[in-house]
Amino acid sequence: MSVEHTILSNGMTVVTHAMPHLESASLGVWVRSGSRNETSQQHGISHLLEHMAFKGTKKRTARAIAEEIEAVGGDLNAATSVENTSYYARVLKEDVPLALDILSDILLNARFDDDELRREQHVILQEIGATLDNPEDLVFDAFQDIAFQGQSIGRTILGTAKTVEGFSTGDLKQFLHCQYQPADMVISAAGAVDHDKFVRQTEDAFGVLVKPDVSVNDHQQASYTGGQFIQSKDLMEAQLLMGFEGHSYQDDQFYGTQLLASVLGGGMASRLFQEVRESRGLCYSIYAFHWGFSDTGLFGIHAATGREDIPELVPVVLDELLRACDEISENEVKRARAQVRSSLLMSLESPSARAAQIARQMLVFGRVIDLNELVAKVDAITPTDLRDLGQSIFTDTVPTLASIGPIDGVETVLSTERISGHLRRK
């Protein structure tokens, strides 16, 4: 695997994966700063900052940024998550210097014009409004908020109308200065890219960014709380999320928890899909997931169903969790391993996915993890491991429950106490 990395003189990391058979390259800047780095007064500023980076620099207007990248057939975008913010582009190999120049320009020379800020605040208010109209978005926001009550890791990425409208250009500049520090930034590229040349280009583009005297990029240690959020709303379906404390990227149990989520609800052959959807017809879709963070994790099960099916669906799901603590088979683990392995291999076929993957690994682990090492970790997990892991997750942690929809008359089923009691009957 032709992965190389270099630490620049200012502490910024450059990592590349050369794919000589490609004619294009994906590159970007990943910053170890997201919504959980915000104070309550800064709620939503990471996402607003990401938007404002494209609204003009000292040498490019917002329109010029779009026109320059599209003039060479490339594309440019960005994303904000709980723990990272990324700015990335995909271009033909000869246009890598242009893409790198634009990325450095929007991050180092953004103007933060007052008029542009007002327009973008309005755009984000519309984005918040669209979320409020979507019950699935709402239930996931409530789910994470109640799992980590009173903490930045539980707050929405978008912020609130009040906080977003209150930000000034000075707030954006201060947050950028504090959070976007070289040691917390990774420049990643995958595809038709030469590492040594890319390092020189990156040094030229980002070398002016200097190390701060004191590091202020920090976030609150996560503390899983669990709890419940129930909201009756006149909808066709009830959105339902049940969850438990998971494991962080750094935890030895992380890959096992990913496999457990796959066994339970990772596809049409999974336990929950077969029992809840296929055998009983209690919902159209149901799946399990596991979100890993740097210091914690969140395991969840999502389903959408009619009010009349909730009293049967909830105990059936809980029974499947209990059964998984007793009887996960080798064939199920093999199928879950195959899903993980195929996902890893498919990521190698996409320069965009690969650039993001190696950037995140550098931020989390300080190194790129070899594919064979990842596969070996996954292959070492046994059915007994997953059964024991299920026992510890489902019966030893406080549940999280979030539901929005037509739930009048079935509220007694939607209770963390009832969930805990059901799971601890074992």
Q: How far is CA 420 from the centre of its chain?
A: 28
Cα–Cα dist 336/258, whole Å: 9
Quote the pLDDT of residue 347: 80
80, 34 Cβ separation under 8 angstroms: yes
244, 393 Cβ separation under 8 angstroms: yes
Whether the per-residue pLDDT at 212 is higher than 80: the answer is no
How confident is the model over 193-204, as a mean pLDDT? 97
Instruction: Give the strand pairing for 85-92 and 75-80.
Output: antiparallel
How confident is the model over 43-57, as a mean pLDDT? 97
pLDDT tens profile 103-137: 999 999 999 999 999 999 999 999 999 999 999 99
Local confidence band at 378 (pLDDT 50, 70, 90 cut-offs): very high
Local confidence band at 426 (pLDDT 50, 70, 90 cut-offs): low
Counting Cβ atoms within 10 Å, is residue 64 exposed (0-12), middle (13-18) or buried (19+)? middle
Of 211 and 391, the structure prediction assigns the larger pLDDT to: 391
Whether the per-residue pLDDT at 307 is higher than 70: the answer is yes
Which of 22-36, 180-194, 300-314, 333-347 is predicted with the least confidence, judged by mean pLDDT? 333-347
How confident is the model over 339-355, as a mean pLDDT? 89
Counting Cβ atoms within 10 Å, is residue 207 exposed (0-12), middle (13-18) or buried (19+)? middle
Give the residue carrying structure tokens 């017809």: 281
CB crowding 407-425: b at 16 or more within 10 Å, else e: beebeebbbbebbbebbee
DSSP 413: T
User: Is the Cα torsion angle 65, 85, 155, 391 positive or negative in sign?
Assistant: positive
Q: Active-site residues: which are they?
A: 50
Cα–Cα dist 63/56, whole Å: 8
Cα–Cα dist 316/282, whole Å: 10
How confident is the model over 401-405, as a mean pLDDT? 96
Of the chain, the percentage scoring pLDDT greater than 90 comes to 87
Quote the pLDDT of residue 406: 94
Beta-bridge partners for 80: 85
Quote the pLDDT of residue 351: 95
DSSP letters along 120-134, please? HHHHHHHHHHHHHT-
Give the residue carrying structure tokens 């926001």: 141
Closest CA to 419 of 321, 326, 280: 321
The structural domains of the chain, ordered by start, are 3-206 (3.30.830.10), 227-423 (3.30.830.10)
Residue type, 127: E
Cα–Cα dist 352/21, whole Å: 15
How confident is the model over 278-288, as a mean pLDDT? 95
